[in-house]
Structures are given as structure tokens and as C-alpha cells.
Structure 1
Amino acid sequence: MTSRRRRFAERRAAQGYSQEEFAEALAVATSTVIRWEGGRATPQPHQRPRIAGLLGVTLSELERLLVDERPVETARPDPQPLFHGDDDDMKRRNVLGLLAVTGALVTLPGSDEAPRGPTAALLETGEDPHRGLWQVFTLSDSKRTVFPAVHTQLGILTKGLADAGTEAGRARLCVLTADLYQLAGELFFDANRYTDAAQCYTLAAHAAHAGGDDDLWACALTRHAYVELYARRAPAALPLLAAASRVARRGDSALATRHWVAAVQAEAYATMGDFDACVRALAEAEEVHTLDGDCHNGGWLRFDGSRLPEERGACYLRLGRPDLAEDALTSALAQPLSLRRRAAVLSDLAALGVHRRDVDQVVEYAEAAMGLAGRSGSGFIGTKLDGLRGRLAPLLSDGRVSDLDHRIAALSRTARREGHVHE
């Protein structure tokens, strides 16, 4: 037992509960409490408000007792390579080096000189090349194929910023930089390189602010919050999302930015076990359907409300409300979905089967998700499947589930090994 879980156990004892009494108060088995305190399992979101009440702590304080303890079953897969060849680390360092240079350049003032040569051409083409890259990223089963082009364009932008010229030209280049670094962050995120993704989003937020684009700024903050959510640090995500919400309200009211922020806030609240706050945030996200015309740009802002059924289902699943989750997830699965989104919904439906002890449902949906994972090599899908694997413990006595557990683990190992050999 590590220091974090020891503190959890000490808090329980300080409140006068034995493990048996604590389990009885929560209507769970004593073995469940033992697994929580031993770091082999983590309380589900819907259990946490009651646990916090018994321990006399807030949900945020409870999260701090648990956040650094991740069950072995739900550990994230290793980072995946983004490039072909053996020089993944070198090329990754090149991108992060560009990030450091760009971070300095966006803080420098402009000049009175008009941009010329390549910089003038860059300003003229604007975001058109980025829109194409975002489109390829969205449509590609394997996201990492986009990275070489993104890397090249980042180098061009960095040179452009060095010769930015006027304040207006510099501001425009800052906006283009914020756009492209969000895409770079998405690529790192998909490869499970969360720290690298966070660095990209931080620079994107800084550049968007320097360029005076509040919607772009809010989206960068929201993506950074996603990093915290996937690292199981919901309390760290909430301040980022609160800031994103404030910035978004200063942006274009015709865009869906503030509604996307609300959708991500709902996920954070669900992770914290706060049902009422989650429902309020989902309601605000649903208001995206009241907007007229194109409320997104298909690039750094892609939220149009079409993902809300799957996001609502995922939230209800985290909150321990399978009755509400099933309708939303089934509705989502009936829609046209990207490979990555379909795999996420299938994984959540399999997790719903675990909650119901329905082995047939678990196996059916997990098999389908694994097939999609094999086609894409996406770290995002791998993370979803590893999360499902962490829920399988109650059903491992069934041979089909035990076999599924081993195959998910093997799929992760194979993806990592083939990634290093072939990419």
C-alpha cells in the first residue's frame, strides 16, 4: 500500500470505521474496501459522494486521496511512435524544440516592416493548408500519418513568426500557430503522449491569446483539460474548464465553443461523481442545437452536438446510471461515426454489460471494439479498451471474459511492439 492509499485507510479509521463497518455503510463487500485501500481498485464515480460523506472530506479531497493510485488493470498503454523509422525520439524532440522557439517568438513585438517573401505567402494562404490537415486527421483511421505534414508546416510557421513584420501580420501568424499546435497536440494525445500534448495545447492557448482569438484560446484550454481527464486528474481539469468557459463567453456567440466547453465539463463532473452538475453542463451543451448556420469550422472547433449522445452515455456510465446510459449509447451507435468514436461507444457498451453481469454483451461489443483498434493502431482506442479491461474483474471467472482480458492485454503489447518495429 502506497502513502496515498494509506492516507485513505487512515482517514477511514480516524472516522471510527473498521473495514467491515465502512463496507456495510456503503453496501459493498468488505473485500471491495480492502481492494480500494490496497490500490487494486478505485471507487466508481457514483460511490464517491457517499464515501466522501463518510470520511468527512470534499469530493476534491477524496480525489487527492485516490488520484495517484491507479489500479494495475487500468494502467495506460505505453506511448506510441508517431514517425516511421528508428528516430522517433529525435523527431519528437525537433517538434518540441520548435515549440520552445515559437513560444518565444509569439511574445515578441511586431515591426513597421511589411511582410515579404515566404512570410507574405504564408499570410496569404492563411488557414487553408491547416483545414486540409484537420480534414485528413479527422478522416484517417491512423492519425499519425498526418504528423510529417504537420511537422513541416510547424517549421514554416516558426520561420514566418521570426519575420512577422507588422503587428497585424504577427497577430495573424499567432492565430495560425495556435491552430496548428492544437492539431499537433491532438496527434500526441492520440499516441498517449499526454505530457507532449499538454505542452502543445499550452503554447496554442498562449498564441491564440496573443493573436486575439478568444474561441481558439478557449478550445486550446479545453483540450488541455482533456489531458487532465485522461490522466485521471479531474480536479485539475475543472479550473482549466472554468477558465475556458469564461474566455468562450467573450468569443463569437454564433460559434459552438461555449457549448463544447460545457460538454467537457459534464465529463469532468461525471468523473467526480457530481450528478447534478453533470446534468446542468449537459443541458448547456445541448443548447448548441439552437445555433443557426455553421457553428463550427471543421478544424480546431468541430463540436456541433452530434457527439452528445455518446458523451451523455459515457457520463451516465461513469455516474453508475446504466438505465440512462444505454439509450444514449445505443442512439450514438446508430449514427455515422468515425472509427475512433465508434470504438469508444462500443467500449462503453461493453462496460455497461459488465455492470449488468451480461457476458454476451461484454464479449460482443468488446470484440467489435478490438477489431477497430487493430485497424487503426490508435492509442485513444487502446486506452478505452484498457479502461474496459480494468472493469472485467467481477466476470473473470467466465472463460470468455478471461480470454477477452488476455486478448486485450495482448493487443496492447502487439500494438506497442509493431509500432516500434514498423513505425
Structure 2
Amino acid sequence: MGGRRFGFIRARKAACFTQESLAHALNLDPTTVGHWERGRTEPLVYKRPKLAKLLKVSLAELEDLLAEGTPRETVQSVPVVQRNAPSTTTRTTPRGGLLLPVMVNGRPVLVPLDGTTVAASELGPHLPLALVAGDEADLPADQTAEWDTMSPLSRRSLLKHGIPTTVLPALGLDDLQRVSEAMADARRHFDRPVLEYFSRQLAACKADDGTLGPAKTLPIVLGVAGAIEEHARDVKPAIRRDLLRLGAESAEFAGWLYRDVRDFGRTLYWYDRAMEWAQEAGDPAMQGYVLLKKAQLAFDEREPRRMLSLSQAVQRGPWTLPNRVQAESVQQEARAEVMLGATADAVASKLDEARQLLGARDDRDCSLGAHYNDTLLTMQTAICYTEAGAPRRAVELYDESLVEDRFSPRDYGFFLSLRAGSLALAGEPDEAARTGVESAARADSTSSRRTKQELVRVLEYLRPWANRPVVMQLGEVVAT
């Protein structure tokens, strides 16, 4: 491990930050900054531009501050799978090297940035452009030819601005050149093709989320959001508003991903960022949609009064929302009311209103809530019945509409956990436990802590039958 980074500490104090306040500004755990200052860990690449801005130093100066107290000849060893070598083999980067996180086959990997190591490892085929840390790297001729078509400025820009965290494995040479130039000089080069590229990245993340889960999707989404946050102030006015709209969309999605892993503090942070960017972009519909997402978060936190007022605010706001978003807000209002003591019959009219809104023709061209459909409304109605003390009615709805091919793997597992809870409350412990075991398998494969938390609640419902074999099995799988 390295020693104390006194230069970094002096820079933090000169910028009037405590460790805790700097961590808060970066949306990090308070202990993280202390680890940086003791040389135990390094800031992630996508965090460094904002960190430099907060400390009022350049990126190059920040790199020098972080190098202090760290051995110059080696950087912390990271695992790299080598051909004809055990998977536990470790490598160190040579002088001038960096550790760069990139997405390889859907997972973040710390790649040592010397060309020899990259070319010799099994990462090579997944990185069509070699990642080099210095001019002395010995690269295969075909990779050298491609890489050298980029200017040194473009290469340095990619490394310093953290964009490889998000995009390198998916970029062709033309896109790589364009994005790197945009990061180096956003005012001149951050044009509509670059914006469209980030939009495609975000759309791909959303499409894969229900299968890959937040652990694999979050690094890409945070990379997109971080790039937007860093460069929104520098882009041309003609593109700034659209960039902020995309920022609001990426921040809202990041909030959802953090909600799925039950990190509610970061969920709220990103929802607030989405609201701010939507306001700055003049996008009132997104503002209303973020309020709906906050109402859903209030349900997770079991705050029915906040859930009720937020759902009503969605409906009263000065925006025009698609019918499907309005339908979900009405359903959320009904659910909040039953959590506050209303009966299922008392909110039946609201649930009917939600279904009518969802079925009505809507000519508005808006992608917000595009995933919301009749099946999801049925699932949420079942949740409402369970909250209202009518679990048998909920089970009937689950049996009617909970069909695997209608959902992503993550969402199917989540609704299975809710069905298990309704079955337990309806007095069917064995079927509840079997459903819970099936749900747990989906939760594990998609890293859905939200689903696992629901299964913890199911086990509470099943406590009177704790000694039944299948209930004990569910307890074991949830514990692991």
C-alpha cells in the first residue's frame, strides 16, 4: 500500500472540504475519501473530473496529487486472466501505467494500460483498439496502426475523462475519435452524433437491465451521466438543452437501478439530479415522471403519506403526461390510501380510473413510462389488494397474469416474491415457500436486492410455519 497523500489533503482543506463533505459532494461513503488520503484506494475514473473541479485543480494536477504516497513503479495489482495461466495470476502496470475500468462481456474489469499485458491477455479480443499507457508499449502492428490514427490529444483525453469506463468495447474507430475529441473540447466537438451515441448507450442499458441486473448496468449508466455532468457547461447552446434532457433520463434510470439494490440514499440523489436537469432543460413531463418515481421509492420505504402526496402532485402538476404515466400515478394513490387504512372496495373506483386511463387513446409522442402496460397495472392492483388485507384476491390476479414470458427475468422474480407474500398471508405456506424459492433464484441471477428484501418479508409472514421443510428451504436460500 502507498503512504499518506499530503498534497491531496492540503488541496481538500484549501477547497474548504472535510472528508465527509467531499464524500457527500461526490455521492460516496464518508470513509472513501479517507482511504484515498491514506493511499489505500484510488478514485474511480469517472469520478475524477468532478473531484478535480471540487478541489479547484486540473485533471493533470489531480493525477499528481494521487500519485503522491503511491509507489511509482507499481500500481495495486489487479486480476487479469492470462492465456495458459491460472485465473488468480496478478499483474502490475509498468511505470506510467494506469488502471482503467472497462466493460468486457457485460462486467467491469480493471485493465492495466500497458499494451503488452493487454495484448497477451484474454481481454485482447474484446478490445479492438489497444489501450496503451505510454509510448514505450510494444503493440501488435495491426493494433498500433489503428491506435496511431488518433492524435495523442485524443488518447490522453479518453484516459483522463473516464469515457472508456462506458464505451470503449462498443466503439468503432470513427466513434472513438469523435467521442475522445468531444471529451477534450466539448465546446467544439460535442455535437449531435456524440449526443446520439450516448443516447443509444442509455437505450441499450434500459433494454438489457431486466436481464443483466443493476450490478452490470450501473457502471455504464453512471459513465453516461458522469460525462454529461462534466461537459454540459461547455457544449454549444444549440445542443445543451438536449444534452440536459438526456442527463435527466440517465439520472432517473440510475435512481431506479440504485432502488433495485436498495441503496435509497443514492436513489434519492439521482432522482434529485434528474429533477434539476429536467428543470434546466425545460422538460416538465420528466419533472412529473420523477415525482412518480419518488412516490414508488416512498412505497419501498413504507412512507404512505409521502407516497400519497407525491402521487397526487403528479396528477396536479403543470405538465402534460402520457395516459400510462397518469394511470400509474392514480394506482399509486390508491395503494397509498389502503396503506393508510382504506379498504379494497373503497379504492376500487381509483383502480378502475387507472385502467380506463391506460386503455384510452393517447396521441402524445412521449416515451416516458413506455414499459407500463395492462399486465403491470394488474400486478400493482394485486399489491394494492394485499396491502388492503385481501391477499386471496391478489393471488387470483397473480395466477391470471403472472406469466414468465411477459416479464424480464428480474421483474418476473420480483413479482414472484410478491405472489409468495400474498400466498403466505392467505394461509398457503407450502405454495408460498415454493414460489419464494423460485423467486430467489431469479433475484440471485439479476442481483435484485429489492426482490431479496421482499422474500425476507415473506419469511416473516411464514413464521408460524417455520418448521415446515419447504419453509426452511426458503430461509436457507434467502440467507445465502
Shared fold per TM-score greater than 0.5: yes
Alignment match, 2:273: 203
181, 185, 189: which one pairs with 1:117? 189
Answering whether residue 326 of structure 2 is matched by residue 258 of structure 1, we say yes
Which aligned pairs between 1:171-210 and structure 2 lie closer than 5 A?
171-210=241-280
1:325 match: secondary structure: helix
Instruction: Quote the offset at 1:194 in angstroms.
Output: 0.7
Alignment match, 2:395: 326
Alignment match, 1:67: none
Alignment match, 2:293: 223
Which aligned pairs between 1:2-401 and structure 2 lie closer than 5 A?
116-123=188-195, 127-138=199-210, 140-166=211-237, 169-247=239-317, 250-252=318-320, 254-275=322-343, 278-292=347-361, 301-334=370-403, 336-401=406-471
2:398 match: secondary structure: helix
Distance 1:171 1:180, change over 3 A: same
Report the more deviating stretch, 116-125 or 184-193: 116-125
* Structure 1 or 2: more helix by fraction: 1
Distance 1:258 1:338, change over 3 A: same
Structure 1 spans left out of the alignment, 5+ residues: 1-85, 102-113, 412-423
Q: CA deviation digits over 1:19-46, x for unaligned, max 9?
A: xxxxxxxxxxxxxxxxxxxxxxxxxxxx
CA contact (8 A) 2:294 2:310 kept: yes
2:361 match: secondary structure: coil
Provide the rounded CA distance (Å) in 2 between the counterparts of 1:364 and 1:136. 28
Provide the rounded CA distance (Å) in 1 between the counterparts of 2:398 and 2:193. 46
CA contact (8 A) 1:350 1:361 kept: yes
Provide the rounded CA distance (Å) in 2 between the counterparts of 1:295 and 1:306. 21
2:452 match: secondary structure: helix
Distance 1:219 1:358, change over 3 A: same
Provide the rounded CA distance (Å) in 2 between the counterparts of 1:129 and 1:90. 20
1:162 match: secondary structure: coil
Provide the rounded CA distance (Å) in 1 between the counterparts of 2:420 and 2:42. 34
Q: Which residue identity is paired with 2:219?
A: P
Q: Which has the higher contact order (CA 8 A, sep 6+)?
A: 1
CA contact (8 A) 1:183 1:300 kept: no
Distance 1:308 1:124, change over 3 A: closer
Number of aligned residue pairs: give it: 309
2:269 match: secondary structure: helix
Q: CA deviation digits over 1:353-392, x for unaligned, max 9?
A: 3223223312221221122223222112111111212211
Q: Which residue identity is paired with 2:306?
A: A
Instruction: Quote the offset at 1:200 in angstroms.
Output: 0.4
Provide the rounded CA distance (Å) in 1 between the counterparts of 2:395 and 2:384. 11
Instruction: Quote the offset at 1:132 in angstroms.
Output: 2.2
Provide the rounded CA distance (Å) in 2 between the counterparts of 1:284 and 1:119. 44
CA root-mean-square deviation:
3.3
Provide the rounded CA distance (Å) in 2 between the counterparts of 1:282 and 1:100. 48
Structure 2 spans left out of the alignment, 5+ residues: 1-39, 56-185
Provide the rounded CA distance (Å) in 2 between the counterparts of 1:98 and 1:300. 36
Query: Larger radius of gyration, structure 1 or 2?
Result: 2
Instruction: Quote the offset at 1:290 in angstroms.
Output: 2.7
Provide the rounded CA distance (Å) in 2 between the counterparts of 1:353 and 1:188. 28
Distance 1:163 1:91, change over 3 A: closer
1:206 match: secondary structure: helix
CA contact (8 A) 2:324 2:358 kept: no
CA contact (8 A) 1:343 1:372 kept: yes
Distance 1:189 1:409, change over 3 A: same
User: How much identity, in percent, do the aligned residues show?
Assistant: 19
Instruction: Quote the offset at 1:212 in angstroms.
Output: 2.1
